[in-house]
Amino acid sequence: MPFTLHDPNMNKIDYPVGIKPLDFLVSSIEKERKSQSIDGIPGNVDYGFDYKDREVTLTFWLRHYHGEYDNRLMKSDLYNLLDSQPYFYISDDRLPSRVLKVTIDEQYMPERVMHSPFSELEVKGNVSGRPFWRTKYTTQDLQTHSYSGLVEKFGTTDGINIDRTKYTFTETTFKVWNGGNVTVDPRNMMLYIKMFYVKGTGSITNKTTGEKLNIINDWKGNHLTIEGVKIIKATNVNGLRDTNRKFISLVPGNNEIEIKGLEFTKISFDFPYYYK
C-alpha cells in the first residue's frame, strides 16, 4: 500500500472496499526570497528567504464489483473518507515513520476507464501549517520505549542517535539531540519543555545557539512548562511575566543545554523530528 491516511490522533484510517491508493507525490518546498534594490548599490540586497508551500498529489485506483449502483456507492464512500477529518497525517509506506499534515480542499472526480469497472483518481492536497515532514513519534516516545531499529514506529533513517535517546535529565548541563534536518522553532513547531518543582531564579541556555530563557521571579516549587510560546506554572497560571520573554530553539544535531541558579528535580524535552 503506497500511502496511509491517519486521523489527527495518528490513528490509521482504513480505505473502503474497492479503493486502492497508488502514489503520494510531494514536491520540494517553495522559497520566497526577500530582497531590495538600493540606489548606488549594484544588484540587490538579499535579506534571506521564507519557506512557503509545497505541492501534494494523491492518486487512487478504484474498482467496483456489483454494477453501476456499486460504483456510485464507492464514490460516495470515497467522498466521505476524504472529508471525514479536518486534516490528515499522511505517510508514505516506503518511509512509514514520517508524516505530512494535509487538507483536501479542491474538487475531484474519478475518471472512468473505457466503461470498465475501473476508475482513476488524482486528488490535489494542501499542506496544513508548516511544510515539513515530521516523525509520528516524539522524543519522549524514544525516552519511554527506547529505540529499536526493528520497531516500525522508529525509522532506521530518521537521524536517531542511539547514544542520545535520553530526553529527560536531572543534570544542570546536558545535550539534547535533534535528529531532523530542520531547526525546531517553538514559535511555530511542537516543542514541550517541562521542569519539575522549580525553585529560585536563574536561566536555561542553549549554548549551541546562544539563546537564553531567564527566570526572573522565584517559581516557589511549581512546575515550569513551556508549550511553544506559552510559559505555564503548575497551577495553569501564565508565567511569561516571570521570565525575560525569550525562548530556545533546537538546531539539528547536538544542542548543549546549561541550567544556572535553579533548583529542580528533572527536566524533559518532547518534540518530533522535522524534515524538509
Sequence spans of domains, the chain = 3-131, 134-275
pLDDT at 48: 81
- CATH class of the region 3-131: mainly beta
- Which of 47-51, 56-60, 171-175, 268-272 is predicted with the least confidence, judged by mean pLDDT? 47-51
Per-residue pLDDT, averaged over 127-147, amounts to: 90
CATH value of 134-275 in 3.40.50.450, 3.20.20.70, 2.60.120.860, 2.40.50.360: 2.60.120.860
When pLDDT is cut at 50, 70 and 90, the band that residue 53 belongs to is: very high
Q: pLDDT, tens digit, for every residue of 215-265?
A: 999 988 999 999 988 999 877 888 888 899 999 999 999 999 999 999 999
pTM of full prediction above 0.95: no
pLDDT of residue 117 exceeding 90: no
Per-residue pLDDT, averaged over 171-186, amounts to: 96
Q: pLDDT, tens digit, for every residue of 70-93?
A: 788 888 999 999 999 999 999 999
> Amino acid identity of 262?
L
7-15 own/partner pairs: CB under 8 Å, 24+ apart = 7/85, 7/88, 7/89, 8/85, 8/86, 8/87, 8/89, 10/89, 10/99, 10/136, 13/81, 13/84, 13/85, 13/88, 15/81
pLDDT at 14: 94
pLDDT averaged over the chain? Answer: 91
